[in-house]
Structure 1
Amino acid sequence: MKIKINGITSLADSNRFLRALWAELRKQFGKFAWNYQPSKDGTSQTIFLGWGNGIPISLLYSQKSIVNGVLFGNGSSEPVDEASELGLKLKQSVVAALQHRNIPKTEILEVPISSLYSSLAPYKGEWLEILPGQRPISLLTVRVKAFDETDAKTELFRISSFILDVLSIETNNMFWIDSQKQDKVYELKLGTEEAVCPEVNTSPNDEEWIDTYPSHNGYMLISNQAIQFLDRILSKDELSSTESLFIRSCHHYHMARIQDALIYNRLYSPNSQPNDEPLGIILEEDPRFKEAPIFAGRANEIATVLYMSAIEVVSMIDANPSEKCTSCGQEQYRISARVAEYVNKYDEGGHLSKVFKSLYSKRSKYLHAGALLSDHAYVGTTIPKLDPSSDSGMSEMISVPVINLREWTGYMLRQQLKSLLLAGGL
């Protein structure tokens, strides 16, 4: 049974229709058991999705990413009779989805998120709210546009990924959705001397910070620019190219931070604050990183690659168009030079652009030629060995400490976010 569709004009519109269609199918058939095995046939301009309640389902298209029909059943199965009860329900679902695709309901959902050691201070925007819970957990509440409960939960987890990645660059920290249900959120006693938390939407005093993370009374602080940006991306169905590049860069950063936690967060002080003097602090082994020593040796390289990838992606924002080779006409991307130019914007006349250009070259050799980024032979004593491929000419355990890459990259991404908002580039 083939049902033609008119009026869908874009990728975002197509995806809204599909979300609405699956909500309507769940409404008609209950759970609507799903075996998802997508494949595309360009000749027939058909995308086979899989089986829903045992019914083969395909999409039809005439232009790339724009749906213009739905096909229920195929040549290898018994056709669906349009006049049958099943056929009428399927057609009703398609018609309803087409009508309702632009009018989703707004749902409010919450999920606990955790960081390494501290909760976030309270923040509130139009589309999200953050409240501190039992340390190091915070409660994230998000408004999502959805077509039913299942769609709302799916959107929550999609959106949460964006939020956690932005929180990571705002705090030099790592975040994850916590499996513990939070029954208690700290009572906020704001504007008093006994304040447990800072006031809602408190920004860091120093917006140029680089190392550790900004805090107040032990609660992590983020910038108001971050809340503005998150409000912006949560309010829309489709990200702009600039927003998408920035979010993808934040994701690389966050994944790198998770890797470098295996190196730098194996020990912690349960009662210390980020600006405490190191003398007299008692360190304990974090049970969450009990197996970290097994993987820490390789985490250096993976974290380095991901931090460099974060800079490569964000450097594409407002980058000059690539030039074409005068001989062959192929695009010349000059990515290494672009990365160095980008870093130089935030460290004009400094040495960082040289460091990042060198590291980018090493990252490329690591990914494409298998060249190692560090010497894995270190056992506590350094034995000098020549290495003509290194900047120093000698073999090194690691040329740039990963913690420095974390801090430099996080700083540049925060400055990028601020400049985009100030310039109206988002």
Structure 2
Amino acid sequence: MSGRPGQTWYEVNADNVANSNRFLRAFWAALRHYLGPYAWLFQPYKNGENKIVRFGRVSFSESTVVEFGISYDRRGVIDQLWCRPETDDESLREGVSESVENARRILHHPRSEWYTVEISVFPHVEMANYTADYIKLTGLTSGAVALSLNIPGYDRIDRQTQFYNTAAPILDALSVFTNCSYQYCTTSGHEEFSEEPNVRWCPPDWLDDFPLMRGRLSISSSQLRYLDQLTIESSDSSAVHAARLFHQAIKLDNEGSLTMKDAARMLYLSALEAASAPEQNPNKCVECGQSIYSIRKRVRDVTSRYLGEAAEKIIDQAYRARSGYLHTGNVLGKTDLRAGAGPQLDPSAQSGCIRPAGLDNTINVREFISYILRKIAIDQRSGTASHQS
């Protein structure tokens, strides 16, 4: 195949997007093994007309810089890999060629290793111990937990990268399962909780506060299975997307400022909106052909399904306020009502009065929505979730 001067092309012929990315991971690992450490100048660019994706430049030394990219017939599926050294270096081209061959050999044979990091839990509640085939949660002192994942990869750097890519949705799911937020510890060396794993299971239908069993943060057996599957299966489900928004919301909520609580409430409701998204394409308008989305109805329906009419009314009221906040900047708490001050009127408000800052608490919204998200996550895994469009 012809290309720019100095380009060398290597056949890959991947059959899907997932295997294309596995090949790239294997190739970058083989390249590190053959040519040593390198640094990226990441400058991605896609030329749809010529069906080429350019990744950027790799620097092996001050004098050795190589541009890499791929060609494709189907979007996201590699046909050929190409490289273009900035200087004519035959040994470098041989190294790339050898790395392509090595990537083909190791593509379906990644090596798995356990990788562990310490995670800070907020609020500082100590967690019970859990273990499954691909994940371990070990409670530590000072409100921390050790997260261990059995990660397949092609070298140390690849496994480390895959660990953090995998850990992100797991921590998001844990946030939904426990109403806590999680972030990587800045210090290490916490003592482990000495108890056998998998002896404290929280009931699946808890709603208020945190799932504590004999003083320890706990999850259910079905939630542990969910986390274990999430470790080995990349998921693009609505439950995973919703958990990411929920985790962001609870981090803002934990900051405590009134401004952040308004923003947190919006993210909680956006998480519920994401979780209620139809799994199939929505209906089309017969006149204009555009997709028909009844987002507010979806949110009301999913709330009613899992929590009933009373919760539906509370969430619907919050959802209406969310629209004003996002589209007109209409914050919920508009005045600082000091002790001894009296109420004032606001004809645009449902109550007819200006709502003092801090009057709207996020707790009910958070706890109702986390309950629904927990149910949807497990239902999706078991194939029982049913969303209306």
TM-score, normalised relative to structure 2: 0.89
Q: How does 1:52-91 map to 2 (within 5 A)?
A: 52-53=58-59, 54-73=65-84, 77-78=86-87, 80=88, 84-91=90-97
- 8 A contact 1:202–1:221 mirrored in 2: yes
Partners of 1:13 and 1:389 in 2: how far apart?
55
- Which residue number corresponds to residue 4 of structure 2? none
| Residue identity in the other structure for 2:266 | V
- Which residue number corresponds to residue 324 of structure 2? 365
SS at match of 1:367: helix
Q: Aligned pair 1:406/2:378, yes or no?
A: no
| Residue identity in the other structure for 1:200 | N
Partners of 2:54 and 2:137 in 1: how far apart?
41
Greater Cα offset, 301-310 or 399-408: 399-408
Change (3 A) 1:46 1:399: farther
Partners of 2:341 and 2:107 in 1: how far apart?
64
- Which residue number corresponds to residue 107 of structure 2? 101
- 8 A contact 1:337–1:357 mirrored in 2: no
Q: How does 1:197-208 map to 2 (within 5 A)?
A: 200-204=198-202, 206-208=203-205
Give a deviation string over 1:118-140, Cα, whole Å, max 9, x none. Answer: 22101011001111122311111
Q: Aligned pair 1:123/2:130, yes or no?
A: yes
Give a deviation string over 1:253-311, Cα, whole Å, max 9, x none. Answer: 11111111122xxxxxxxxxxxxxxxxxxxxxxxxxxxxxxxx0211211011100110
Shift of 1:323: 2.6
Q: Aligned pair 1:180/2:141, yes or no?
A: no
Match among 115, 139, 151 for residue 132 of structure 1: 139
Partners of 1:94 and 1:217 in 2: how far apart?
54
SS at match of 2:192: coil
- Which residue number corresponds to residue 213 of structure 2? 216
Partners of 1:100 and 1:201 in 2: how far apart?
39
| Residue identity in the other structure for 2:352 | G
SS at match of 1:395: coil
- 8 A contact 2:120–2:185 mirrored in 1: yes
- Which residue number corresponds to residue 37 of structure 1? 43
Shift of 1:173: 0.9
Shift of 1:365: 3.1
Q: Aligned pair 1:303/2:303, yes or no?
A: no
Partners of 2:340 and 2:378 in 1: how far apart?
44
Segments of 5+ residues of structure 1 without an aligned counterpart are 191-198, 264-295
Q: How does 1:231-270 map to 2 (within 5 A)?
A: 231-236=228-233, 238-239=234-235, 241=236, 244-263=237-256
Give a deviation string over 1:398-420, Cα, whole Å, max 9, x none. Answer: 67421111111111112223333
Match among 270, 276, 282 for residue 315 of structure 1: 276
Greater Cα offset, 381-390 or 37-46: 381-390
Change (3 A) 1:368 1:11: farther
Change (3 A) 1:353 1:186: closer
Partners of 1:371 and 1:183 in 2: how far apart?
45
| Residue identity in the other structure for 1:146 | G
**Percent identity of equivalent pairs:** 26
Match among 57, 61, 64 for residue 51 of structure 1: 57
Greater Cα offset, 397-406 or 301-310: 397-406
| Residue identity in the other structure for 2:132 | G
SS at match of 1:95: helix
Shift of 1:148: 0.6
Partners of 2:78 and 2:144 in 1: how far apart?
42
| Residue identity in the other structure for 1:387 | D
Give a deviation string over 1:68-98, Cα, whole Å, max 9, x none. Answer: 1122128xx44x56xx111100111122213
Q: Aligned pair 1:330/2:336, yes or no?
A: no
Give a deviation string over 1:174-197, Cα, whole Å, max 9, x none. Answer: 111112223642333x5xxxxxxx
Shift of 1:20: 1.0
- 8 A contact 1:201–1:224 mirrored in 2: no
- Which residue number corresponds to residue 290 of structure 1? none
Give a deviation string over 1:351-389, Cα, whole Å, max 9, x none. Answer: 222332332233233223333233244344554333344
SS at match of 1:175: strand
Segments of 5+ residues of structure 2 without an aligned counterpart are 1-6, 60-64
Shift of 1:321: 4.9
Partners of 1:101 and 1:381 in 2: how far apart?
71
Partners of 2:346 and 2:286 in 1: how far apart?
36
- 8 A contact 1:249–1:311 mirrored in 2: yes
Change (3 A) 1:3 1:421: same
Partners of 1:124 and 1:344 in 2: how far apart?
34
Partners of 1:163 and 1:213 in 2: how far apart?
18
Partners of 1:66 and 1:382 in 2: how far apart?
65
Shift of 1:56: 1.4
Aligned length: 373
Partners of 1:381 and 1:35 in 2: how far apart?
61
